[in-house]
Structure 1
């Protein structure tokens, strides 16, 4: 299987998604459309699409952001698996015709999320996830709400058996967290409703349950559960 990853900032890589892909013998291709003139894969060469987070908004008027949505639209029509984290989940919702709005609270740091649907086998009732956002998606009417948090209700959705979007991050490993904090830690200091400093975020160990949840999500999306 060819897994095409759309990465949108150097500090937010695929993390444990790459580990899952390697364990299953899949090939990972990482694209950086924000950096390399909007280069994107085609739908024909995509077996699974991963859309990672980034500092941009789906509401930004940039050609490559619109082109990403055209790719998502094609893959949705072909019923291919898609996973979006943070900005990536917002892009999926926007492609489906729903809004990306200012969230009621800016969340930067570690905080619990609560499972709202049992359609994905192996997901626990609660996870401690890494949050790094101040916008949120509207949950598509055709999808199920998958997660909520204490501060932001719309934290995740699942559409059918092949699309999952999460407003938070389960994919970061320890190196990914360190990379996010040392490069973008100031983001946590500006009006952060989780009231966590970069030092606090760094001191929190990545929960082992997050890797297990990524495995469960990608097993579900690829029908290997």
Structure 2
């Protein structure tokens, strides 16, 4: 399987998603459209991963619109797609749903609660890393997958091959440190989770997050 990853900022990499691909023996390609403008074609994509970033799907940038064209093609071909944060918003926007300010800005660690049992083996409650202030509308044709205490729309499952998460299960410990030290002002600005960059680092990554990330990817690629 060829996995094509769209990365949108240097400090938000694939983390556990790459670990999953390596363990499963898949080919792994990382594109940086924000910097180089390059995107894979639908024909050469078996799984598309759309990572987070500081931009919004509402930004009027050619490469953002080109990403949605690719997502639309893959949706039509029923190929698996996983989106994290901005990536989940891009999927929802492709389907015609609004992206806007969330009722609360969440930056740091906070629990998310499972809202569907469609994906086997997901605990009822997980501690996830949040790094966002915008939110997607859950598509009518999808089901709500996760919610948090502050923001209801935290994840959705579309059919059996598309998952979008507003939060992050993919970061490993090194990824969290990289996010926190390079985007260190973001947690300090009107953050409703009231966590500093150092507190976010010191929290550590729950071991079960990597396992759940693997389960989600196994589910949409089965």
CA distance in 2, matches of 1:126, 1:6: 28
Return the alpha-carbon distance in structure 1 between the equivalents of residues 129 and 16 of structure 2: 14
Aligned-partner SS, 2:34: coil
The 1-side partners of 2:38 and 2:163 are apart by 24
Secondary structure of 2:163's aligned partner: strand
Structure 1 residue 122, shift from structure 2 partner:
1.3
Q: TM-score normalised to the size of structure 1? A: 0.98
SS at match of 1:34: helix
* Partner residue in 2 for 1:142: 141
Q: Deviations over 1:35-94 (max 9, x none)?
A: 01x110000000000000000000000000000000000000000000000000000000
Q: What's the offset of the Cα at 1:100?
A: 0.3
* 1:168, distance to aligned residue in structure 2 (A): 0.0
Q: 1:167: how far off?
A: 0.0
d(CA) in 2 for partners of 1:161, 1:173: 26
- SS of 2:35's equivalent? coil
State the partner residue of 1:46: 45
* Counterpart position of 1:79: 78
Structure 1, gaps ≥5 residues long: none
The correspondence of residues 99-138 of structure 1 with structure 2, limited to 5 A, is 99-138=98-137
RMSD: 0.4
Alpha-carbon separation, structure 2, partners of 1:105 and 1:8? 23
Please name the residue that 2:3 is paired with: 3
TM-score normalised per structure 2: 1.00
> 1:127, CA displacement in angstroms?
0.7
How far is 1:181 from its partner?
0.5
**Offset of residue 185 of structure 1:** 1.3
Q: Secondary structure at the match of 1:68?
A: helix
SS in 2 for 1:127: strand
What residue number does 2:89 align with? 90
| SS of structure 2 residue aligned to 1:117 | coil
Q: Distance in 2 between matches of 1:43 and 1:33?
A: 15
Distance between the aligned counterparts of 2:40 and 2:121, measured in 1?
Answer: 31
Alpha-carbon separation, structure 1, partners of 2:86 and 2:103: 16
Residues 104-146 of structure 1: CA distance to partner in whole angstroms, max 9, x if unpaired? 0000000000000000011111110000000000000000000
Aligned length: 222
The residue number in structure 1 matching 2:59 is: 60
Cα distance, 1:221 vs structure 2: 0.7
Give SS of 1:35's match: helix
Alignment correspondent of 1:32: 32
Question: Unmatched 5+ residue regions in structure 2?
Answer: none
Dislocated runs of 4+, deviation >2 Å: none
